[in-house]
A = this chain, B = another copy of it.
Amino acid sequence: MDKVITIGRQYGSGGREIGEKIAKRYGIPFYDNELITRAAKESGFAEESFERAEDKATNSLLYSLAMGINVYGNQDFGFSGLSLDDRIFLAQSDVIRKVAEEGPCVIVGRCADYVLKERDNVFNIFVRASLDYRLQRAIHNYQVNEKKAAEIIMKNDKRRGNYYNYHVGEKWLNLNNYDLVIRSDVSGIDNAVNCICTYLGD
């Protein structure tokens, strides 16, 4: 397996778990929060700043405004005129390009498909699932009622969608962005992994 595999995913669809299992099967690195940590260390930004960047994207308009005016400007990373959030995105992108350069790996989220679009060994997956399946997972994982679970899912999907739309300039749910889109609640997690590995020919 010589591919860099990126995974986008709806909240609660099990995309992260699928990514971990694929990485384990191929014996290749898996990047999610580790990626953030590494980026934070390398760029000198505090880790909390990185987490804040994606959290902000809950409302498309507010997010755009925030991206425009949120220029703290105390540190200069050579991207003059860019907001802190934009600079964090660029620093993250640098890390994504670096780990992709190092060899095959799985990268979840962070618009990695877009960041790596010039490379030709990249394979882009999106994992989706029915709302009902995702509700049950959220209720179970967070011990909350259905209403609260629905709120969590909607907030997180909005955040991810706006983050993608803002940075990539393409619709998050446009199937043209991905090589394989898979619905995990129909296949189950393990069979989704089998399906992806079959597709990759390994």
Contact = CB atoms under 8 A, between A and B. Distances in A.
Contact of A194 (B178, B179, B186, B198): B198
A61 interface: no
A173 B186 CA distance: 20
Contact of A175 (B128, B186, B187): B128
In the assembly, how many copies of this chain are there?
A: 2
A89 interface: no
Contacts of A123: 186
A194 B181 CA distance: 15
Given A173-B174, A174-B173, A199 B182 contact: yes
Nearest to A191: B201
A143 interface: no
A198 B180 CA distance: 14
Contacts of A126: 175, 181
A195 interface: yes
A191 B128 CA distance: 22
Interface in A145-199: 173-176, 178-183, 186-187, 191-192, 194-195, 198-199
Given A174-B175, A195-B195, A195-B199, A182 B183 contact: no
Nearest to A194: B198
A181 B124 CA distance: 12
Nearest to A172: B175
A109 B173 CA distance: 21
A123 B182 CA distance: 12
A196 to B, nearest CB: 8
Interface of A: 123, 126, 128, 173-176, 178-183, 186-187, 191-192, 194-195, 198-199, 201
23 contacts: A123-B186, A126-B175, A126-B181, A128-B175, A173-B175, A173-B176, A175-B175, A175-B178, A175-B181, A178-B183, A179-B183, A179-B186, A180-B181, A181-B182, A182-B199, A186-B199, A187-B199, A187-B201, A191-B198, A191-B199, A192-B199, A195-B198, A195-B199
